[in-house]
A and B are shown apart, each in its own frame.
Chain A
Amino acid sequence: MSTFSGLNAAASGLAAARRGMDVVGQNIANQATEGYTRQRVTTQAVAPIARSGMFSTGVVPGQGVSVTGVARLGDALLDARVRDAAAAAGYWSTRAVAATSAEAAMNEPTSDGLAARLNAFWAGWQDLANTPDSGAAAAVVLTSAQELAGRLAQGYRAVSAQWSDARTSVDRNVTQVNSAADQIAALNRQIRDATASGQSANELIDQRDLLAQNIARIAGARATVESDGTLTVRIGGNALVSGTDARHLAVGGAASIEDGTRVTLTWEGADAAVSVSDGELGGALSVLAPADDGGTLAGLAAGYNAVATALASRVNAQHSAGVTSSGAAGGDFFALAADGPAALGLSVVPTSVADLALAAAGAGAVDATNADAMSQLGAADGSPDALWADQVLRFGVATAGDVQRARLSETAQVAATSAQQSVAAVDGDEETVSLVTYQAAYQASARVLSAIDEALDVLINKTGIVGR
């Protein structure tokens, strides 16, 4: 056994403690870095040198400590749970946000809503029935009819604009997914190479997990770590990223709410459909779906159209049943544009009291039987008012459901993230303790070094000088 072996052991202790302090420094420096997972130096005691030769050299102690690596204290299972929870939360929060903003645009039940405009319109006919010869009352009816048509168009346009915004966000989300997939593929290569050459890839893995979490939130992707250290990301069962290869998504289908078809996702270049039923993209696709498939926005737009159509047909039927003050038969009151959505194509035909068919046929010039009958349309079965009230109720119930589920899935996501963070996050106090520990270890190793040094000093400088 070498005289100086103790010095080596002490030096390895110094090196290990210093490496420990370096890693603590890295942890503390990244305390607030998103996606950072805490690290710890792993050490191993070095076994004594194996004996060789035939003569026993006595009992030999170990040869100090060796740094075997820097461990990343993450938990793949918890990471996967976070991704799953993020996918669900992304889906429901996208739906809830779309539904609540569409609901806010409805302005119900307030004096600015469609229901209030309808009420004012019917009431106007009663006033006109009281004074059928009054140009003022007729002007009120005509103005409120125009206001009503304007309110319907405005409501429809708000829904249509929201649909376009959601469609744009699908494009943006797909771009994000594609770029994240490319980055994950590049990171997979770096991580595989680093692992193969025995280097630490901890920071790269942190970055990759963060990207995988983003893809999960956006597109509901599932991710699994392969044996070579690469991460495979799957959407709807098919690989988005596999090893160092990434595929891309492409958006197709409806470009506006009037198209009435689905917005579709395909694999770029392959023309095969991708089924995304989770994540923000899944939520956006369900919001953008046609009315027949339960699309939130298209359903509301169809509601506006149904009200416009019912309003036009009922009012026109009643108006045609009457005669004007000059005895001419009343024609259509509302005109519907031949093409395009009914809510946008509604216009008022009469321009003055002379065009209004207020009287029943054969009655006097200022008879108002027809105007009175018109005013009662709002309270009839299947009236536009009833259609709209039903629409508001159904939309409110659906929105409340979406908001409730969004809240639940957010709670689940918070729980999953907390569980992940409880393992992976850096704690200042803990790092301080580690720092103090490594500092003390360093000091102790230094003390060992100087003790051996002093012992050797005695041997080298003070030995054999008896009587000198």
Chain B
Amino acid sequence: MISRVTATSMTQTAMRHLQANLTQLARLQEQATSQRAFSVPSDDPAAAATALQVHAAQQRNDQYARNIDDGLAWVTTIDNSLSASTSLLRRARDLTVRGANSGSLDATAKEAIAVELQGIRDELLAQANTTVLGRAVFAGTSNTGAAFDADYAFSGTTGSEVTRRVSDGVAVRVDADGATVFGTGDESVFALLDGIVADLRAGTDIGGRLTAIDDRMSAMLGVQGTVGARQAQIERAKEAAVGQSVSLEARRAAVEDVDSVEVLVKLQSQELVYQSALAVTGRVMQPSLLEFLR
């Protein structure tokens, strides 16, 4: 059927095409200004689903980065504290060796050693009660605020650990067991030093205590090695988290963000199309037979 063209149908066609052009222009403008490839899921359902997953992964990764920083604070504190404790214990061992030479020491010299050993015991106790943000790092999950009290009783719970989640499925222990490092009650390093001081003052030979000091020292060094290994693990996790955040951001950008250049070029050409459509419509709508009848 050869269709008859009327002014009405031409107006309607022109209106429809102008509207379509304007819709396209508005869509491109929205993309260019928001820099988002889609505004609602139905624009691109698959991309929307990916975006949701990537957003969740990004949030988790950000959280892991915070956990890692917190965990590092714990392990470095413990590491420092253990270093200080081992050097204190080494000094105590030197003093014990000197105190064991009973023949060459008079009472005053022994008393001086005893006083210094007492100071070392206090310092060790302070190290054992080191805290991070109010939490005693050697007390595990206890909330008493100190790992060892004045009677050298350990407040931590055996077998319960403080962990930090550093990635999906990986949680790292960030505390150290105070009982293993310092011993508890009468078996503790503090009680040991007290014993040496008492023997020294009483004039008893303290040479036999050296074995106990060496045992304690090796226990401390063992824990320090474990803590160092965990610190390395957390630092590796930190690097992984940084890398992960870069790659997640790249994935998010690939899914959600528009290619600016492409959108701008499209926008320019669409503007041209719209302006041409307006100009053509303006010319076509004008004439009527009446203008040519005189």
Contacts and interface: CB of A to CB of B under 8 A. Distances in A.
Interface of A: 31-32, 99-100, 103-104, 106, 108-109, 115-116, 118-120, 122-123, 126-127, 129-131, 133, 325, 359-360, 362-369, 372, 375-376, 378-379, 385, 388-389, 392-393, 395-397, 399-400, 403, 414, 417-419, 421-423, 425-430, 432-433, 436
Interface string B91-134: 00000000000000000000000000000000000000000011
Interface of B: 1, 3-9, 12-13, 16, 40-46, 48-49, 51-53, 55-56, 59-60, 62-63, 66-67, 70, 133-135, 139-143, 156-157, 159-160, 162-165, 168, 171, 256, 288-290, 293
Contacts of B41: 103, 106, 108-109, 392-393, 395-396, 399
B165 A133 contact: no
A392 B171 contact: no
A115 B144 CA distance: 39
A419 B6 CA distance: 11
Contact of A115 (B44, B55, B156): B55
Contacts of B134: 133
B48 A393 contact: yes
Contacts of B7: 31, 427-429
A230 B135 CA distance: 91
A368 B163 CA distance: 8
A428 B290 contact: yes
30 contacts: A31-B7, A100-B40, A109-B41, A109-B51, A109-B55, A119-B56, A129-B164, A129-B165, A130-B70, A131-B133, A363-B141, A363-B160, A365-B141, A366-B142, A366-B143, A367-B157, A368-B163, A372-B163, A372-B171, A389-B52, A395-B41, A396-B42, A399-B40, A400-B43, A421-B9, A422-B5, A426-B6, A428-B7, A428-B290, A432-B293
B131 to A, nearest CB: 12
Tell me if A's interface is mostly helix, strand, loop or mixed: helix
Contact of B45 (A396, A421, A425): A396
Contacts of B8: 31-32, 421, 425-427
A182 to B, nearest CB: 30
Given A427-B6, A430-B6, A100 B42 contact: yes
B143 A119 contact: no
Contacts of A400: 42-43, 45
Contact of B59 (A109, A120, A423, A432): A120
The 5 A-B residue pairs with the shortest CB-CB distance in the complex, in nearest-first order: A364-B141, A396-B41, A396-B45, A399-B42, A363-B160
A262 to B, nearest CB: 26
B142 A364 contact: yes
A389 B135 contact: no
Contacts of A104: 40
A116 B55 contact: yes
A403 B45 CA distance: 13
Nearest to A111: B55
Contacts of B70: 130-131
A433 B289 contact: yes
B4 A427 contact: yes
Contact of B4 (A126, A372, A422): A422
B9 A425 contact: yes
A403 B141 contact: no
B48 to A, nearest CB: 5
A108 B13 CA distance: 36
The residue in B51, B62, B289 that gathers the most chain A C-beta atoms within 10 A of its C-beta is B289
A104 to B, nearest CB: 6
A429 B3 contact: no
A106 B143 CA distance: 44
Contacts of B162: 367-368
A326 B5 CA distance: 86
A392 B52 contact: yes
A376 B7 CA distance: 67
Nearest to B62: A123
A375 B165 CA distance: 10
Nearest to A400: B42
Contacts of B44: 396
Given A364-B142, A364-B143, A103 B40 contact: yes
B66 A428 contact: no
Given A397-B45, A433-B289, 14 more contacts: A115-B56, A118-B56, A126-B67, A127-B63, A359-B141, A362-B160, A366-B135, A367-B160, A379-B60, A393-B41, A421-B9, A422-B5, A426-B8, A428-B7
Contact of A366 (B66, B141, B165): B141
B48 A364 contact: no
A103 B42 contact: yes
A69 to B, nearest CB: 22
A297 B62 CA distance: 35
Nearest to A393: B49
Contacts of A109: 41, 48, 51-52, 55, 256
A436 B293 CA distance: 9
B52 A115 contact: yes
B16 A429 contact: no
B52 A108 contact: yes
A199 to B, nearest CB: 27
Nearest to B40: A103
Nearest to A32: B8
B171 to A, nearest CB: 6
